[in-house]
Structure 1
Amino acid sequence: MSQTLTICKCSTSVTKISRFYYSTRQTMNSTLDIQSEVQKVQNWWRSERFKNVKRIHSPMDIVKHRGSLGIEDTKYPSSYQATKLFQLLEENFKKKIPLHTLGVIDPVQMTQLSRCNNIKVAYVSGWACSSTMVGSTNEVSPDFGDYPYDTVPNQVERIFKAQKMHDRKAFLQTIENKEPLVDYMKPIIADADMGHGGLTTVMKLAKLFAEKGAAAIHLEDQLVGGKRCGHLGGAVLVPTSTHLNRLIATRIQWDIMGVENLIIARTDSCNSKLISSSCDPRDHEFIQGVMDVSTPSWTERLAELEQTGVSNSEMSDHEIEWYENNKLVTFDEAVQIQLSSEDYKNYMKSKQQLRVSLKREYLSLREMKQLVQQIVPNEIINFDWDLPRSSEGYYMFKGGMEAAIRRSLVFTPYSDMIWLETKTPNLEQAKDFSQRIHKEYPDTKLVYNLSPSFNWTKQGFNETKLKSFIWDLAKEGFILQLVSLAGLHVDGISFWELSQKFQTEGMSAYVSLVQQKEQQLNCDLLTHQRWSGAEYVDSIMKVVQNGSSSKTLSTAGESFTESQF
């Protein structure tokens, strides 16, 4: 039977489409009311879930891009997990208590995390995936975001499927043995890096994450190809508008899919020294130039040096020398240096007045130059931000808290949470950031990376402050907190300790460091066959074979060695 498509136009709008088998809720050849579908989307967006979310697209934009398969027919489990995560965030934000967790690198760690009642979410790190498991290429590397874009989604899928397996096992044990039900279905928050490409790639990546089980993802404002771990040097930011479009593209993709997954907007502008373009006026106040506008640019000098065939080390020395001889300044700093203190004071006052009148935080370079001309008509500020550009064409950027706050204020309406990436664990810095964001957007949930890259013992914490740090952060609205690479470090240190001792102490080392600890701590991996779900599979086989499988059960009889425990 062939499908028939009839489009009826009333004025200029499409009102009804008749499509065979549009949805399981529709009868054969029934008529779909497009305006009714638009209203459903509109009502969905008005729900509590999206009360603080801004969109540039309309409900009709979503309906007309969904296709003929009814949204009721495509339910994604990750959306249910996202609802669970949203509710946890709402509750914890009201109480100002943390939703804190540890990064896991495999199903083993996920199951152990799940047995901790006060840890309610799981985290999957791109850094950990890059260094331990890169699916299609198996090329592990530092966190430069240069692995295939399905790497982290595939790891999410691996962990999510394990969650479902262990949940089924636990559910069976609860019914048959009256054991308390372990919540293995912790919502997964995953690292989407910088989106791994243009906007269509960002959308494909968002789709993959929703399909494979991530309740939330975070996207950072770094450049594809210039991506670095937030605690490495050399990271390149993208213009504010570029990252904003990534957030919008992700929301559109998830709206088309009908899911409620959460977007975390992360900024690395606190630590970054480079930006890919000067196209966005919101970035202009932080782009650095030089005041000697007659000097040849660094790239000109670089080309000359390459012609002479200098060595790599000599080239590096010349680069250092160029930047030492040409001080990097923002336009405001150039104004302060080149004008009198009184004129500079008037400039800053006029600048603030203009911001207020324009009802925005930023001024473009053009507007700042015009202000100087108004205050001191005969003065010209020498400033050129093209001269110090890197060999790749990147502009110099003055990263810091002000840049991070400005960017976050732009990203907040289009995201569900804001992530501040910092150099050190600093409560006062976090408070300042929180106050500025919450002054404008009081309901914004903040995210903090409790990074293993920090030397925590050298950051001035005593034992009491170290223990309370997570809870102190939560009071400032940093609800979601994570030790991103906890699983990686625990995996390394525990196996390193065992390996060292096993080489000389043999099984004594294994028993003392592993088996006895598993017994003392009630770790369910002591009986790893049961942990893996062998009893669950036995239970299914009993059903399949109508009870006649007693001789072939894996967890019965003398051959089942875990009966020793």
Structure 2
Amino acid sequence: MSQRWSSTKEEADAFEAEAAAIEEWWQTDRQKHIKRPYSAKSIAALRNVGFKIEYPSSAMGRKLWRILNEHNSNGTYELTFGTTEPMIAKEMAKHLQTIYVSGALCGLSQAAWPGADHADYPADLVPSVVKRLFNTQLWHDQRQTQMRMRYSEADRQSLECIDYFLPIVADGDMGFGTLTGCMKMVRSFVESGVAMIHIDDLALGLKKFTNGEGRTIVPTSEYLTRLTTARMTFDIMGADTMLLCRCDSDHAEFITGVIDPQDHPYVLGATMEVASFIQAIEQCKADGKGYLTVKAEWKAKAGLKTFDDAVQSVATQDQYSAYVAEVSGKTVPLQDRRKIAKKHTGKDVFFDWELPRLPTGQYMWQWSTRAVIDRAILAAPLGDMTWSRQDKPNKKDMHEFHSEVRKVFPARLFAFGYTGAYDFVKAGYTEEELETFPRDIAKMGIIWQVQPIWATQGLSLHANQFAAKFKKEGIAGYMRDVARPAIAGMATDKYGRPTARGDYLADAFFDVVAGVDIAGVVQ
């Protein structure tokens, strides 16, 4: 049997050296802002001690970290969009600094069985798309290097020299279930060459968009566990991959559980003794009423409130002020809130958060900007950036969220996603404000901005327009409107030959194998 170590002392020395190297790594500029709930020795014990793999994801993560911090220092921003297509990613390199890979877009365009944004595609789908894009970046850089090295230094002054290595940011959704499932997904991302992933606090399997209801989130503790799992996996792999803490609590309507006292102030309960919401739904089937109508009627009948609001409705102003003084700014579970309320009001406040539960188990939730802020602040030490998903950005909410988080973390980096369906002008923004919107929000630290699913509008629109025109005008229209402009805009050398051609690289492989020197000679 082959022995891994010649002695236990050699093993112990290697382990201690590994732990020390991890501690040193954690003190670098790239890592020192992260607060971990575990020790370097725990991570060393989970590593292949003495066998180090340097992942391209690390280099891309460090590159993205530099790009984003430079924007933050300058008050500028990176604006990009989502794609799953390598040919499009190639063109993005000429204009942008990053690429985004949306889970929703992967589910629509890359899954064997496509579907809407329900995160029900295989866990390795998005990493596989990232891998294909990263391989494309490698190939184009290799092609460009080989092509350029055929020319003299003087000739290379006029040739394209594009940085194809745009850091790729990708959608990790909810981490795909179990802790070990999240680990495996994160590992796949690191192995794919990703620069940053985001993981959110939505509930797996409960993304619904068809009945007019809001999102379902998980308890804060479960969200933090997801982020900690991702961070731990990066640490085990020794990767400088960035972690974006995306919080989808904005306008959330449900939460899967009430296990975490930090969530208790925002859980809704019935303040009147009524039949349960599940019973009301069963009755609505018999009565032929619509679900949303019954829901609104039941909520009004049940006097749905948070516990604090329920206390306020039965207390005097002085009693409520005394109650708030004891619970404000603290993590106080519902059981203790009941005792404090009784102490100041002299009565048991009726509040039942079980009555509003849905047939699928969720509790009803009262979102607020404060609730989102609380969650984002707790998550921030585990990640490198924060993204509060605000599909319908309200000026006041946006300013409050980002300024309040920055009071705790002054140098915090933020991300923002633009949804194609949102009409800013109808929502109260002027055309002038819309023109300067990216620049204005960058002043709040929102320095990475993305239109996640451009392809569902932009690519689809262009394809539809081209298909209609191609059918009408045929190859003559294609040559006039596509081929000729594309050829005219193609980069060429001083001899008029296209430079962005992969056949040069293929020819070079044959030449090198044959012993031909391929550098410095234009053929």
Instruction: Tell me the TM-score normalised to structure 1 length.
Output: 0.84
Q: How big is each residue's C-alpha offset from its partner over 1:210-235, in whole Å with a ceiling of 9 and x where there is no partner?
A: 00111110001011111358998442
Please say which of residues 237-246 and 397-406 is displaced more in the overlay. Answer: 397-406
**Contact 1:276 / 1:393 at 8 angstroms: preserved in 2?**
yes
Structure-1 residue corresponding to 2:77: 98
Q: 2: CA distance between counterparts of 1:232 and 1:498?
A: 35
Q: 2: CA distance between counterparts of 1:263 and 1:329?
A: 35
Structure-2 residue corresponding to 1:11: none
Q: 2: CA distance between counterparts of 1:389 and 1:347?
A: 27
Q: Secondary structure at the match of 1:214?
A: coil
Q: Is 2:75 aligned against 1:81? A: no
Q: 1: CA distance between counterparts of 2:211 and 2:15?
A: 49
Q: 1: CA distance between counterparts of 2:517 and 2:198?
A: 50
Structure 1's 493 and 530: CA in aligned 2 closer, same or farther, altered over 3 A?
farther
**Contact 1:109 / 1:487 at 8 angstroms: preserved in 2?**
no
Structure-2 residue corresponding to 1:541: 510
Q: 2: CA distance between counterparts of 1:42 and 1:165?
A: 36
Structure-2 residue corresponding to 1:156: 130
Q: Secondary structure at the match of 2:304?
A: coil
Between the aligned residues of both structures, percent identity stands at 28
Structure-2 residue corresponding to 1:401: 369
Structure 1's 430 and 382: CA in aligned 2 closer, same or farther, altered over 3 A?
same
**Contact 2:491 / 2:499 at 8 angstroms: preserved in 1?**
no
Q: Secondary structure at the match of 1:458?
A: coil
Q: 2: CA distance between counterparts of 1:467 and 1:430?
A: 17
Q: 1: CA distance between counterparts of 2:454 and 2:425?
A: 16
**Contact 1:289 / 1:384 at 8 angstroms: preserved in 2?**
yes
**Contact 2:84 / 2:105 at 8 angstroms: preserved in 1?**
yes
Structure-2 residue corresponding to 1:365: 334
Q: Secondary structure at the match of 2:195?
A: strand
Find 1:295's aligned residue among 254, 274, 287: 274
Structure-2 residue corresponding to 1:3: 3
Q: Secondary structure at the match of 2:252?
A: coil
Deviation at 1:165, TM superposition (A): 0.5
Deviation at 1:417, TM superposition (A): 0.6
Structure 1's 521 and 67: CA in aligned 2 closer, same or farther, altered over 3 A?
same
Gaps of 5+ in 1: 9-14, 19-31, 550-555, 557-565
**Contact 1:427 / 1:473 at 8 angstroms: preserved in 2?**
no
Q: Secondary structure at the match of 2:483?
A: helix
Q: Is 2:149 aligned against 1:181? A: no
Q: Is 2:190 aligned against 1:210? A: yes
Q: How big is each residue's C-alpha offset from its partner over 1:405-438, in whole Å with a ceiling of 9 and x where there is no partner?
A: 1100110011111101013234443221111001
**Contact 1:127 / 1:229 at 8 angstroms: preserved in 2?**
no
Deviation at 1:530, TM superposition (A): 6.6
Deviation at 1:542, TM superposition (A): 2.1
Deviation at 1:382, TM superposition (A): 1.4
Gaps of 5+ in 2: none
Q: 2: CA distance between counterparts of 1:457 and 1:108?
A: 33
Give the letter aligned to residue 64 of structure 1. A
Structure-1 residue corresponding to 2:308: 332
Q: 1: CA distance between counterparts of 2:214 and 2:245?
A: 20
Q: Secondary structure at the match of 1:506?
A: helix
Deviation at 1:512, TM superposition (A): 4.2
Q: Is 2:106 aligned against 1:132? A: no
Please say which of residues 487-496 and 184-193 is displaced more in the overlay. Answer: 487-496
Aligned length: 511
**Contact 2:220 / 2:262 at 8 angstroms: preserved in 1?**
yes
Q: Secondary structure at the match of 1:155?
A: helix
**Contact 2:18 / 2:49 at 8 angstroms: preserved in 1?**
no
Structure-2 residue corresponding to 1:24: none
Deviation at 1:468, TM superposition (A): 1.6
Q: Secondary structure at the match of 1:33?
A: helix
Structure-2 residue corresponding to 1:245: 225
**Contact 2:470 / 2:477 at 8 angstroms: preserved in 1?**
yes
Give the letter aligned to residue 448 of structure 2. L
Q: 2: CA distance between counterparts of 1:285 and 1:514?
A: 59
Cα RMSD between the aligned structures?
2.8
Give the letter aligned to residue 39 of structure 2. S
Structure-1 residue corresponding to 2:47: 66
Structure-1 residue corresponding to 2:433: 465
Q: How big is each residue's C-alpha offset from its partner over 1:506-546, in whole Å with a ceiling of 9 and x where there is no partner?
A: 2343234423443565589xx99974612221222222234
Q: Secondary structure at the match of 1:273?
A: strand
Structure-2 residue corresponding to 1:27: none
Q: 1: CA distance between counterparts of 2:453 and 2:212?
A: 15
Q: How big is each residue's C-alpha offset from its partner over 1:279-317, in whole Å with a ceiling of 9 and x where there is no partner?
A: 00110111001111x3221234556x49xx848766776
Q: Is 2:357 aligned against 1:384? A: no
Structure-2 residue corresponding to 1:430: 398
Q: Is 2:21 aligned against 1:40? A: yes
Structure 1's 499 and 313: CA in aligned 2 closer, same or farther, altered over 3 A?
farther
Q: Secondary structure at the match of 1:454?
A: coil
Q: Secondary structure at the match of 2:123?
A: coil
Structure-1 residue corresponding to 2:457: 489
**Contact 2:144 / 2:500 at 8 angstroms: preserved in 1?**
no
Structure-1 residue corresponding to 2:317: 341
Q: How big is each residue's C-alpha offset from its partner over 1:376-425, in whole Å with a ceiling of 9 and x where there is no partner?
A: 2x222111111010001110011231111110011001111110101323
